[in-house]
Structure formats: structure tokens, C-alpha cells
Structure 1
């Protein structure tokens, strides 16, 4: 009765969390470990924390790692809420070296893409064909795009220009906090943003993720948009789960 297990690490601006994942249930297998993101969050200092987490679980298999960055072939090309030293860094190579692993045992991907993979496999995107977009509302807005269940990686829809502004500067969850907006005041900003996105890509489903997805009943009913919008199901563990799934998939090929 060997459970299919994987391992995921989710790197954010404030915390780095990792844990074992039950790949059949799409859930954490036991407790996750969270360590504050070092400041400054340079590649080397973050790699040290990732190594500490992996060693704590004594995990020897493939590892998926998320970054709040555009990631192509293991290299970070942007840096949101992490040190700008990540830009141009071969993250997959760095982690492989730091963990003493073969490069093919490490998969590095964008954090929203990882969350999206988990939602499509185990959450609100299960059995949904067509064009599905996951939007994570947090400090900024992250996005993950799927066509018939297949990821189109590294979309940066949080940075669409909406009414002359970077969308996430108007509609991220952090804006609601910073400006002390009620749900009723914040929801029209989200509606306006989603409307612009709808007119560009005409999605069949929008999955709303990020911390505010826990309070979905407070704001989803207030949205005035064309597309069906549903709350993400996996909440804060989606990044870890999706990273583990993606890494297991890569190593199986």
C-alpha cells in the first residue's frame, strides 16, 4: 500500500513553506513546515531555507518549487515580492546544487501556475474544459491559464492596464487592506478588472484564489461580470500541492 507521494515548496515574499504531498488525494500528507522568508530574500539565502525544509522531511524524491516569478526552463525572469537578484538566476540549477540533486529532480515554476495545477487536478477546475483562468488575489494578482486542462505558463494578467493603472495596483487584496475598503467597495474594482480580462481572452471559467477566497461568500456575489466565477478549493496549500504534482509529472517522463 505505497501511497504516491511528492514534495512541494512554496516561496513567497513573507514565508517559505513546504511539505509532503499525497499525490492521489491532492492534499498535504502531515504537517507543513513554514519558515519566514529571509530578508533580503536573495537566491542564496532562500536556497538555504529550502534546503532546511527538505532536510527536515528527509525527502529523497523529486521536488517542485514555486517562485513569485516568471520562470522559463528553470530560470527566473521577473521578481515580485522577492529580491531582484532572482532575475536571470538559474533557480533550478541553484536548488539542485544546494540540495545535491540531479537537475531533472527539481522543477521550478511560477507560484500562480502551481496553484492552478492543483485547482485543475483536485479543486474547482476538475473536469472543466475550455479556457479556465485562476486569479490569485493577494499582495498583487497572479494568474494561471489553462486550455482544456493544459497549462499555458507564465501569464502575467495581474499587470494588465486597467483605466490607466496596473490592474493589481487597483484590485489586489492588499489594496482593500491598505485603503480600508469594505467588500462592497472593493468588489467593483475586481469586476472592472475581470471585465477587461474577459474582453481580451473570453474565459469559460474564472477561479478566484488567494487569501480572500476563504471569504468568497462576501464578495463573489457582488461581482458584475459575464463569466462564471468560483472560489478556489485548496486555499493556502495549492502552491505546495501543485508544485509536487508538476515535479512528479516531470520525473515520470
Structure 2
């Protein structure tokens, strides 16, 4: 190894250690229309600098998305070597992307870990977007310190899910796709169904109630956390739900993916 290359690697290593010591990690949340990211203060769960967003490339191929995400992160000065976490709207199992929601089908079968490691020039923690949102709630949000089984549900264009047992993530549950009478609950009980199917609040809540009751009968959670954009109107529907487990509103909002990715990056850097 040349002296220059050795010095570069040592510098990167020292910068990474310094970033961990400062309690900062960088989170990037990849969505169907936008890629957003920010450095996160791990002691508080708050952004160290304002979040930035770039458009998701079209088509959203793996190489194009990874390049856009790396460029987004490079726009923040002085944070080049802090741990980085990236979410994708997909199942990620043993480094490999297994599904593709709102991104190009060419993602399926890709070694996503290697893709982002190469694009960023440093190891990256890669995880499912709903799992990242759940991590934010368990680490700094509505489920912080909660023992037992916690079920985090995000209601948006579909239904995302994250499952935790004593604070430990069970990855890639995809429980939003439970089927009732042959129907996939993901579009049927999503927040998007409220306007798409011209539902009254009462009719929509009855769908959410049926979905959550079915999920509860399978996993028996000790706490259910409801997130997604519709959670801003939680007072209109949470009191109407009749479930055995307590149901609470998520606290981390639309930044939960970024925050959860940052915490996973920090945890991965320590492993």
C-alpha cells in the first residue's frame, strides 16, 4: 500500500471515529419522488443542520438513485466520514434488495449494500424505510423504552410496518400486506384510500380497525404506534379504534426515516 493511500485511509478512519464520538450520524430516506437527508444528533434525535431534498431520478434505477443520494450527502460540509444510513422502499435481506415499491424494478436482486458502499466510498447501513421509521419511534419517539412487542404502522399511500421485541427490530415484516377475505390491506386500508375511494372518515376508520384487529390477532402487540402523514389528524380516528393494545400517535413525523437511518448507521458502526 502506498504511503498516500495509507494516510488517506487512516484519515478516513480517524474522521469516522471522531464523528461517532461527536454523536452524529447521517440519515438518508429514499422515496418514490424525493430523496431527503440530514445529519442527526444522536443524543436528541434532532437535525444538526436543516434537511435537504433532491428529486428521485426518473427512472429510479439503482445506479442513478445511489449517485443522487451520495451527491446529497456530499453537499454537507465537514461530515464526509460520519456513519451513514440509507433507507429504501424495499425489503433488504442479507444485503440483497428483494422488492421494489415506487422505485424501478431493476432494484430487485441488486446487492444494495455494495451499491451504496461504492457510491459513498464508505460502509453504509441499508434498511427498509418502514423499519427505519419504526427505529426512530423506538429510539426517540412514542415507543422509547417500551418493553415487549411494539407494532409501528405507517399509513400513507400504502401501509408500512415495523415490529420490535424488547426494542430489537424484526426486519422486513411487510405486515401492511396482510390479506383479509383475499384483499391486500395495503391499498385497502391506507390513508390514500380515504380520498381515492371517496370514503367518509367513519368508513375509513372501519377499514383501519379491521386491519389492525387482524394484525393484533396474529402478533399480540403490547403497543401500537400509528405514523404516516394521516397521523397529523390522529384525534379524528385514534379514539375510535377498539383494540386490546394501547394505540398512540407517532412523534417523529415525516423525518422518522432519516432519524431511524441515522441510528441504524450508528449501531452498525459500533458492531
Same fold (TM over 0.5): yes
d(CA) in 1 for partners of 2:218, 2:228 = 23
2:252 is matched with: 234
2:225 is matched with: 207
1:61 is matched with: 82
1:194 is matched with: 212
Identify which range, 107-116 or 177-186, moves more after superposition. 177-186
* 1:73 aligns with one of 94, 99, 114: 94
* 2:42 aligns with one of 4, 23, 32: 23
TM-score for both structures, normalised by structure 1: 0.95
1:101-131 alpha-carbon deviations (Å, 9 max, x no partner): 2xxx211000111111110010000121111
Contact 1:12 1:37 in 2 (8 A): yes
d(CA) in 2 for partners of 1:187, 1:156 = 21
- 1:1-253 mapped onto 2 (5 Å cutoff): 3-58=22-77, 59-101=80-122, 105-253=123-271
Structure 1: which 4+ aligned runs deviate by more than 3 Å?
none
- Give 3-state SS (helix, strand or coil) of 1:215's partner: helix
Contact 1:22 1:29 in 2 (8 A): yes
Q: Which runs of 5+ in 1 are unaligned?
A: none
d(CA) in 1 for partners of 2:22, 2:136 = 18
Aligned length: 249
d(CA) in 2 for partners of 1:3, 1:252 = 14
d(CA) in 2 for partners of 1:229, 1:41 = 35
- Give 3-state SS (helix, strand or coil) of 2:64's partner: helix
TM-score for both structures, normalised by structure 2: 0.89
When Rg is computed on C-alpha atoms for both structures, the one with the higher figure is: 2
